[in-house]
Structure 1
Amino acid sequence: MPLAPDELAAFVADGVITKRGFVAAELIDRAAALVTDWYHTDMDQSRLVDYTQRTFAPEFGDHKDLLALFTRSGAADLVHELVGNFSPITTTQIQIRVPEAELQQVQPAKAMHVDGVACPHLDPAELRTFSLLVGVVLSGISDPTGGALRYVPGGHLRMAEWFRSEWALGITDQVPPHIDAEDGRPFLGQPGDVLFMHHLVPHAVGQNSSPTPRLMAYFRVSHVDHASRRLEALRDPWLDFPALTSRIR
């Protein structure tokens, strides 16, 4: 089913669309079982920082049961509505917020940031940006203190202005101070819910004080021309969204 006019309007204003119960239960069950089994049998807590900065279960990044969350759920069709032609999705990023009670060390929190810009583990002059983040909930989260992702609605427009007027390659600040000071809106949901979030929407993740791990699968979508115009896409939030041009300009 195509995106409704109010959903497109919300994406323009907030940079976010949430589709509840969007992914079929059988797809969620297979993916969640794969990640949960890895969590209990193969996770190496000595690699917690690396997992958190990049991906958990890295050996399963191209597993068919994880990729199916994007390719077989209908998510790809909605992405095409927003982005138009996009590069093939070949990997899944798994993010787990481990319950504090199970940790042998502190899991790093993620301060307000935009992915791929001035990341602590990257050279400040290196960009690993994309167009759209698609997040699929694999385990329910009803409490913001359970490691919920927190995002700033409308932050994509404010970040684009900052990138145009104040920011330059090599600056190590990930967001301007007025955005860094915000708590953000927690993304809560149940397995099968999907978050479609503009790449420029700043977001953060805190500790998980709940008794259960929070599991999310993410897909980073790039317009086919994104790699050749990363800087321009930081400054123009609609460059990678040609289908929305008539709504904005």
Structure 2
Amino acid sequence: MPRSATWSYNELRRFVDDGVLIRRGLIPRDPLSRARDLVGDWLEEAYDPARLTAYTERSFAPELEQHPDLLALYQRSGLTELASDLLRPATTAPVNRAQIQIRLPDGARQPVKSMHVDGVSCPHLEPRDLRTFTFIVGVVLEGGATADAGALHYVPGGHHRMADYFATDWVLGQPAQTPDDIDVQDGTAFTADPGDVIVMHHLVPHRVGINVSGTPRVMAYFRVSHVHHLDLALKALSDPWLEYPTLAALARPGTR
């Protein structure tokens, strides 16, 4: 297995502490260009401004979610191996869909996304729906590497706070997704160039900033789940390492 398809011990420790890992320039130029052109053509030819809110809440270019050029970003770049390495010796479920998120340039009046955890009382879901996963992989397709260009903002280490919140102050079906002390945080911006990749634990709270640049910020996301996630999902909200056998040992107090 190539070195880029495994995580170092220090990276795994960082994921335990922060819930986030970043690999710069991971995606090769050719698959990156094909995916970027595919989404760019969709924006020019198929984008419907009347559906902006629906796109923002769910996915842009929904008809392309299983296109081979998008799936290649995950399946043929080393990301499949990196995902497997993070959960070993557990198995990941197959990833066969991409989600496209675009922050359009300023003036589009795009809805703002506040701090949240995906799949838990989302505005477009019924309150009792739970559509979670184990971690998410994001690939930058296009956009400026600045905090005000529609960047993802996340709370490093916020997965610890969220696990406590889900264990003590939350019940299935309530509308509130995050506690007040998380809601007020601005978060750390994922300032990145095309080809950069972020891997983020499902419990890390995050939001998306407005884009005041002149270029769309385009991200392709892949939701990765433990093969038995459907059975573990509710318990995993309050036990962040339930689905990570190796990392559960690293997360024990005093382990270094």
TM-score bracket, normalised by the shorter chain, equals over 0.9
Aligned residue among 31, 55, 60 for 2:35: 31
Q: Secondary structure at the match of 1:229?
A: helix
Alignment TM-score, normalising by the size of structure 2: 0.94
Question: What's the secondary structure of 2:83's corresponding residue?
Answer: helix
Residues 183-205 of structure 1: per-residue CA shift (max 9 Å, x gap) = 00000111111000000000001
Task: State yes or no: 1:244 paired with 2:250.
Answer: no
TM-aligned CA deviation for residue 141 of structure 1 = 2.4
Structure 1: runs of 5 or more not aligned: none
Amino acid at match of 1:243: T
What's the offset of the Cα at 1:145?
1.2
> Where in structure 2 are the equivalents of 1:48-59 lying within 5 Å?
48-59=52-63
Within-5 A mapping of 1:57-76: 57-76=61-80
Once the two structures are superposed, the pairs formed by residues 13-162 of structure 1 within 5 Å of their partners are 13-83=17-87, 84-101=90-107, 103=108, 106-162=109-165
Q: Secondary structure at the match of 1:138?
A: strand
When the two structures are aligned, how many residues end up with a matched partner? 246
RMSD: 0.9
- Given that residues 81 and 243 in structure 1 are in contact (C-alpha distance below 8 angstroms), is that contact kept between their aligned partners in structure 2? no
Residue 167 (structure 2) aligns with: 164
Q: Pick one of 178, 182, 186 that aligns with 1:183.
A: 186
Determine the C-alpha separation between the residues in 2 that align with 1:243 and 1:34: 38
Q: What residue identity is the alignment partner of 2:101? A: Q
TM-score of the aligned structures, taking structure 1 as reference length: 0.97
3-state secondary structure, aligned to 1:100: coil
Distance 1:248 1:203 in 2: 22
C-alpha separation in 2, matches of 1:119 and 1:202: 13
Q: Please state how far the C-alpha of 1:161 moved relative to its aligned partner.
A: 0.5
Amino acid at match of 2:243: D
Q: After TM superposition, which residue ranges in structure 1, 4 or more long, deviate above 6 angstroms?
A: none
- Calculate percent identity across the aligned residue pairs: 52
Equivalent residue, structure 1, for 2:8: 4
- Measured after TM superposition, the shift of residue 127 of structure 1 is 0.3
Q: How far 1:212 sits from its partner (Å)?
A: 0.7
Contact 1:89 1:221 in 2 (8 A): yes
In the alignment, is the contact (CA less than 8 A) between 2:159 and 2:240 conserved in 1? yes
